[in-house]
Amino acid sequence: MDNKEIKVAKEIERFKKGFPWMKIEAPATPGHGIEVLTEEQQKQACEYADSATTQGRCKFVPASGAATRMFKDIFAGMKEPNDAVKKLAAEIEKFAFYDPEVFKPGGNVAEELLLDSGLGYGNKPKGVLKFHRYPGETRTAFAEHLVEAQEYMRNPDGSVRIIFTISEEHRPLFEAALAEVKEKYEKRYGVRYDITFCYQDKSTNTVAVDKDNKPFLTDDGQMLFRPAGHGALIHNLNAVEEELVSIKNIDNVCVERMQPVTYRWKKVLMGRALELRDRIHGYIYALDQLTQIRKEMSDLSFVPGAVMNLDDPFATPECQELCNEIEDFLHDELCIELPEPKDSRDRAEMLRAKLDRPIRVCGMVRNQGEPGGGPFIIREKDGATSLQILEGAQINPDDPEAVAALKAATHFNPVDIVCCLRRHDGTKFNLLEYVDEDTGLISSKSYQGRELKALELPGLWNGSMSDWNTLFVEVPLETFNPVKVVLDLLRPAHQI
């Protein structure tokens, strides 16, 4: 069997076996898994973000999705106007994309918006749609990300690095959107934009199967392969050279008058990530130095006045004191409880392994009925606990304790994440080594009217970051302004 055949066989076996439920210990809540920072702590974090050195900073924006779901209700009401279409028509002049040359009095507003004979928005990616209108200009979601990034993601050389993950067929639209604003914004904000467009690697596509878990065949007898969800983007993130990375979805933007709140809290998250990075790197350095010194001493044929067991550098009082401090830090800051070690060496090695991982600090918003995964404390396969973002599909509905934890959850995930991607020695982590392959999803889809089952890889901020050091920080609702449906653009966050 070649590599492709092996990959297909493994994926079909996964369809048959399914994915295990996550073992939830408790929801992450304020004071127990979620930090709620005081004004002074916020200020300190912002100052740390401004002063700490990094090997480059960049913004990472998943932007490959078409706007189909955004206009689902409008498509449904194209022939027979429904409530969504009626609302759209009544408020059409409030939308940034309104053009009197396109939207004629008495016309079919749904067709004028969605079809190629009008704006053609039904076939375009969400990132290039006009979201906001200002005096003298309108801005796409893409443009708002450029405006945002110059405020909090500027590198010392004045560059603003942003990576957009897009669909290859949409690249001309994004390049046109960039050309429209790049020079103007560089002059206005005094920066230099360094923009990269990249695609989800097609080799990460997964095979689709029928209800009997046999490969789903197209009309010409070929196996159907589908994009494996945003979890495939861990490969794109792994290729990033910069150390500090901010992740935010393409549709989560607001008008400029409301952006200062976003700026502040992005700096808070960045500051907490860098504080966490430096503390963890300090512990790794101290642990390595202490054990190395003791090992060197134990190699000596005679150590005058030695009173310690130098054959075991991990059993010394100094090492035990440091391990106690690290253990308390992992427990109190990151909700990590380790299984019982076999001996002092095993304890030190477990602690070091938990420290030496990629870092992510995730903003969490109080539940307001918005869709999205949530923060939980779970029990890992190695017996340790950790902070994880779970989707509803990962929670066993037949487990009373899991259901109770879900009901007791206070926050949800708005995808507002800051990552540190380098080790204490400056080398890059290989992020693919920290993915939990048991955290994917199986979903029901259709192809040309035929039902099929699809396999999604562990989500980018779910299982793909499972084995990371994670910190959750409460952020205000004002930082979360997604546009899931077109009528969301009527909300105050999208109106000047």
pLDDT of 311 reads 57
Measured distance CA(457)–CA(466) in Å, rounded: 12
SS3 of 54, please? coil
Residues 433, 436, 442: CA angle, nearest 5 degrees = 135
Per-residue tens of pLDDT for the chain, all 496 residues: 678 888 999 999 999 999 999 999 999 999 999 999 999 999 999 999 999 999 999 999 999 877 888 999 999 999 999 999 999 999 999 999 999 999 999 999 999 999 999 999 999 999 999 999 999 999 999 999 999 999 999 999 999 999 999 999 999 999 999 999 999 999 999 999 999 999 998 889 999 999 999 999 998 889 999 988 899 999 999 999 999 999 999 999 999 999 999 999 999 999 999 999 999 999 999 999 987 755 554 554 444 444 444 457 788 889 999 999 999 999 999 999 999 999 999 999 999 999 999 999 999 999 976 556 799 999 999 999 999 999 888 888 899 999 899 889 999 999 999 999 999 999 999 999 999 999 999 988 888 888 999 999 999 999 999 999 999 999 999 999 999 999 999 999 999 8
Facing residues of 360 across strands? 419, 470
* Per-residue confidence (pLDDT) for residue 369, from 0 to 100: 66
The reported pLDDT for the residue numbered 485 is 95
Q: Where in the chain is the domain with CATH 3.90.550.10?
A: 3-67+124-494
Quick one: tokens of 243?
Answer: 């150390």
For the record, the structure tokens of 159 come out as 């560059």
Fold entry, domain 3-67+124-494: Spore Coat Polysaccharide Biosynthesis Protein SpsA; Chain A (3.90.550)
Quick one: which H or E segment has residue 221?
none
pLDDT at 488: 97
> End-to-end CA distance of the chain, in Å?
59
Sign of CA dihedral 422, 428, 432, 433: negative
Cα separations (Å) of 106 from 82, 89, 288, 329? 16, 9, 74, 65
Cα–Cα distance, 365 to 483 (Å, whole number): 16
Instruction: Say what the pLDDT of residue 303 is.
Output: 45
